Amino acid sequence: MLRFLDAGESHGKALVAILDGIPSNFIVDIDYINNELKRRQVGYGRGERMKIEEDRVEIISGLRGNKTTGNPITMLIYNKDYEKWKDIINREPEEEEKITIPRPGHGDLVGYFKYGSGDIRDSIERTSARETAIRTAVGALCKAMLLEIGIDIRSKVHSIGNNHDEVADIFDNEVYEEINKSLVRCYSKEAEENFKKIIDICKEEGETIGGSIQLSIKGVPMGIGSYSQWDRKLDGILSYGIMSLQGVKAIEFGNGLDLSLKGSTFNDEILYKEGKFVRPTNNCGGIEAGVSNGENIDIKVFIKPIPSIKKSIRTVDLKTKEEKSTRYERSDVSAVVPASIVLENLVAFYILREMLLKFPSDQFMDFKRAVEIFDGRDN
């Protein structure tokens, strides 16, 4: 079973993860992982923190040379901002230093009451989206392995606020190159200008803005996941992972939210061409009854506005119970662009885990061969 745990705080010394279950003899490209971390850090609407951190992963176990050994893989990302915060992080806070004014929409209030530390700082440090750096590193290793067996995961920004980008084939390499050149990761130049404009307006107003992301997974063979038990359904598993990402509030598979479609038009017709079952449409998003059907797994992910805002809204001091204006912590104006990169790598972990459940192997070449044999069989 592929699994991982991560730990670390936003301003702590480092973020760390232990990834267990990766087959042996897979060649790990550290530069590929670091490039995914770099992709996560850039984008229009990013805050000052990204000017401080230059994330690079260090792998301290599970490799010999650049090959996996089959042992647990330990990853580290050091926080450069730790030097400025270590005095605060490494001691008990004085009473007057404790944060007791929660930001609505964040984990401040619920964390304060759940763990009873008397200081919101403890919740802030762990609920921060800084944690997504180490999850991106874990996912990037998984994503690289998936590419080796013919599974590609790509994304683009679909909307910022009420402004939408046009539909584009993100598996067309020329199209995807243009998307990756864009600071807001969209295809249409008109949409790019609209996205930048609304982010600029929000920054001036002390606001933040959400949006949506088009996420697509190509190459997953038919038969991954299961309907035999409720907790084995592939769309359920992916939903669980995606919804665990900070800021995600809703997801859609295929055209599941298009209420104009009737049964005869929503259900994807089944054809047989050139030795394969194919679909002329993909309204279901590549998954039927919790099982992949061989089409692209298409998901739209909706990201809420970041809760750390400069604009004043009401909250309460948890100590005095007096009404206060919300407090502000340094943050981005929009998290949609970096979230698209995090999501690519986040879902890679779950897809690889399901592939390894289908084709359990201790060595990477055995895993790759099993997938190739399965893909080459007669339908």
Known binding-site positions for NADP(+) = 40, 46
Query: In a 10 Å sphere around its CB, with 0-12 CB exposed, 13-18 middle and 19+ buried, how is residue 254 labelled?
Result: buried
The two tokens of residue 14 are: 């480092």
* CA pair distance 78, 13, nearest whole angstrom: 6
How far is Cα 162 from Cα 148, in angstroms, rounded to an integer? 38
Annotation: binding site: 40, 46, 126-128, 246-247, 289, 304-308, 330
What DSSP string runs through 18-44?
Answer: EEE-PPBSPBP-HHHHHHHHHHHH-ST
How does DSSP classify residue 153?
E
Please check whether residue 318 is in contact with residue 109, taking contact to mean a CB–CB distance below 8 angstroms. yes
Sequence-distant contacts of 283-289: CB under 8 A, at least 24 apart: 283/254, 283/255, 283/256, 283/258, 284/253, 284/254, 284/256, 285/235, 285/252, 285/253, 285/254, 285/255, 285/256, 286/217, 286/220, 286/253, 286/254, 287/225, 287/234, 287/235, 287/253, 289/227, 289/233
Distances (CA, A) of 108 to 43, 59, 84, 95, 101: 27, 32, 22, 17, 8
Q: Which residues are annotated as a binding site for FMN?
A: 126-128, 246-247, 289, 304-308, 330
Residue 41: Cβ-neighbour burial (10 angstroms; 0-12, 13-18, 19+): middle
Q: How far apart are CA 58 and CA 17, in angstroms?
A: 11
Residue 123 CB contacts under 8 Å (≥ 6 apart), including other chains: 106, 107, 108, 110, 111, 112, 115
